Amino acid sequence: QLQTKHSHRRQKVLVVANRLPTKPKRDADGNWTFERCSGGLVSCLAGIRAKFDMVWLGWPGADFNDVEKDIVANEAMKQGCYPVFLRQNLIDEYYNGFANNVLWPLFHYIMPPFDKGVNECSTGQWEAYRKANEIFTEAILSVYEDDDYVWIHDYHLMLVPKFLREAKPDCNIGWFLHTPFPSAEIYRTLPWRQEIIESLLHANLLGFHVYDYLRHFLSSCVQLTSLEISAHSVDATSIGGCIVTCATVPIGISPDEFLTGLQKPEVKQQIEQLHEQYAGRKVILGIDRLDYMKGIPHKLMSFGRFLENHPDWADKCVLVQLAVPSRRDVPEYQRLQRQVHELVGQISGKHSSIATGVPVIYMDSSMSPDDLSALYNVADVALITSLRDGMNLVSYEYIACQHGKTVPGVLILSEFAGAAQSLGAGSIRVNPWHLQDTAHAIYEALMMGSEEREALHDYAFKYVSEHTAQKWAETFLQCLQEACSDLMEVTSQ
Ligand code: G6P
């Protein structure tokens, strides 16, 4: 167990993410539920608790009044969480506005419309972003003790490293980006590029999913600062930062959670039911957050192309597409939903018949982990057409849930997802912008022989089971400890 140099207490890791892993909700009768989020970061970080005490700081997902805040804070603390409360206007301007309407599109290579700069109201949104980052920093400081490690997550909180370093010069600070870091040519269009990059350079360690994102970040540093930059570090001491280590630490999943889930009698029963329901048809599965960078319209159009190219497949396959609602207050997401509904309607109108039924089963909803595992298991093909994606863990989850089948399913994976760099050789890689290419990949996947399927699956499963979520978290923290101790050596010389 790791103990601090100042006392005998265990060192803490303060995990700081925009969202808490618990969703407090009050029903019409005034009863509270605190649904624990599953998957994602939550399972990644479970292993950390063995070594460190951990506190998770984040926004509880809604605006609460003072009485409600006490209830939420009490319950959150029982779960090792510390809520960071934000008022509705800040949620609108910081979360819906700057984070999800300025940074998120830009980091996924979507520029503002060609006839506009980042629109004027973004200046107010930038102020709100700064304010929210200050509020998060204050929350960190209220639980921080000397020698703790602060692990900041994602694009929402990029100003925290500087604010925190100014308040606690010796603080151990790591930041991990869950999205792509765009090419410097894209990043440097951001009016606030300087403040953001300089703030990040106040951390000890910056982590990215894949080497390309790290490289893009370093190119931005070269273009926007006059600091000394090497292949994996930036000397930011002249601007009050540190010698910052940059590392590639790809995230993973906990395959065991899925494999154990698949053994549950209720999941087995669900699998049987799905087999019966889709008997005689191949299931092509799409699971995405309803987000424009997931390329759902491109997927639907490619599937439409496939049916046009191979009308004989119309009664032999079905596309099951789950689109989990997301960021509903951002207009772009509302537009996307309308567009997707229209496309589903068009394809169904064109390819449905009384005899064969509908070719697309589309759901605007989320699913329980058990139902999801069953669906992953029965799917013959998983179709991932992200236009840009930090990693894409759906591809990993699909591979995990195919394990143990006599004839495993085939993963079709966009080359623009970070996962293409790890699972590329275990999948059919596609350029989702090339509809005909994706349509052909669907055909290829459906027709693939069992030997080739097994070879692809074995490759992908080996990767997924070796590069787990727990390993990701441990590696990041180990790099952080090394980055911080290297720094101590430099300063004591
Ligand atoms: C992406 C981001 C995460 C975010 C998630 C869900 O994966 O990298 O930071 O939590 O989307 O989005 P939401 O806006 O609902 O938190």
Element (H, E) at 453: helix 450-466
Per-residue pLDDT, averaged over 19-45, amounts to 79
Q: How far is CA 184 from CA 187, 367, 487, in A?
A: 5, 38, 28
Which has the higher per-residue pLDDT, 356 or 428? 428
Give the pLDDT band of residue 31 (cuts 50, 70, 90): confident
Residue range 211-262, pLDDT digits in tens: 999 999 999 999 999 999 999 999 999 999 989 999 999 999 999 999 999 9
Total number of residues shown for the chain: 493
Q: What percent of the chain has pLDDT over 90?
A: 83
Q: Compute the distance between CA of residue 358 and CA of residue 352 in angstroms, rounded to an integer.
A: 5
What is the 307 CA–ligand 1 centroid distance (Å)? 33
Q: Which two tokens stand for residue 442?
A: 């669907």
Q: What's the gap in Å between 13 CA and the centre of ligand 1?
A: 21
pLDDT tens-digit readout, 387-444? 999 999 999 999 999 999 999 999 999 999 999 999 999 999 999 999 999 999 999 9
| 178 touches ligand 1 (CB under 6 Å) | yes
Average pLDDT over residues 163-183: 98
Q: How far is the CA of 325 from the centre of ligand 1 (A)?
A: 12
pLDDT reading at 23 higher than 90: no
Mean pLDDT, the chain, integer? 93
CB distance 429 to ligand 1 below 6 Å:
no
User: How far is the CA of 318 from the CAs of 183, 375, 403, 442, in angstroms?
Assistant: 37, 13, 22, 12
Non-local (6+) Cβ contacts of 400 within 8 A are: 253, 255, 258, 259, 376, 461, 464, 465
Q: Is the CB of 288 under 6 A from ligand 1?
A: no
Nearest CA to ligand 1 atom 6: 326
DSSP 124-147: HHHHHHHHHHHHHHHHHHHH--TT
C-beta 154 within 6 A of ligand 1 = yes
Written as one string, the DSSP assignment of 179-240 is SPPPPHHHHTTSTTHHHHHHHHTTSSEEEESSHHHHHHHHHHHHHH---EE-SSEEE-GGGT
Return d(Cα 151, Cα 206) in angstroms, integer. Answer: 10
- CB-ligand 1 contact for 108 (6 Å cutoff): no
Helix axes 265-277, 255-262, angle to 10 degrees: 80
Pairing relationship of beta strands 53-59 and 12-19 according to DSSP bridges: parallel
Q: Measure the CA dihedral 215/220/223/227, to 10°.
A: -80
Ligand 1 pocket, residue 351 CB under 6 Å? no
Give dist(CA 89, CA 119) in Å, integer: 18
Q: What is the mean pLDDT of residues 482-488?
A: 80
- What spacing in Å lies between the alpha carbon of 447 and ligand 1's midpoint? 35
Q: Which of 220, 219, 246 is nearest to 235 (CA)?
A: 246
Q: What is the pLDDT of residue 1?
A: 43
The separation between the first and the last C-alpha atoms of the chain, rounded to the nearest angstrom, is: 28
pLDDT at 136: 98
pLDDT-derived band at 2 (thresholds 50, 70, 90) equals very low
Q: Write the CB contacts of 313 (distance below 8 Å, at least 6 apart in sequence).
A: 306, 307, 443, 446
| Tokens standing for residue 305 | 């192309």
pLDDT given for residue 245 in this prediction: 98
Residue 490 has pLDDT above 60, yes or no: no
> Which residue in 360, 364, 420 sits closest to 392, CA to CA?
420
Whether this model's ipTM surpasses 0.90 comes out as: yes
Q: What is the pLDDT of residue 123?
A: 85
DSSP H or E run through 32: strand 32-36
| Separation of alpha carbons 483 and 488, rounded Å | 9
> What single-letter DSSP state applies at residue 3?
B
Question: What pLDDT is recorded for position 7?
Answer: 55
In this prediction, residue 395 carries a pLDDT of 97
Tokens 């089971």 map to which residue? 465
pLDDT digits 0-9 by tens, 89-108:
999 999 999 999 999 999 99
- Please name every residue paired with 174 in a beta bridge, in sequence order, or none if there are none: 151, 205
Å from CA of 326 to ligand 1 middle: 9
pLDDT at 300 over 90: yes
Q: Please name which of 297, 284, 237 lies closest in space to residue 446, comparing C-alpha atoms.
A: 284
Q: pTM score, two decimals?
A: 0.95
Instruction: Judge contact between 231 and 446, C-beta under 8 A.
Output: no
Q: Which atom of ligand 1 is nearest to the CA of 95?
A: 14
Nearest CA to ligand 1 atom 12: 326
Mean pLDDT of 125-146: 97
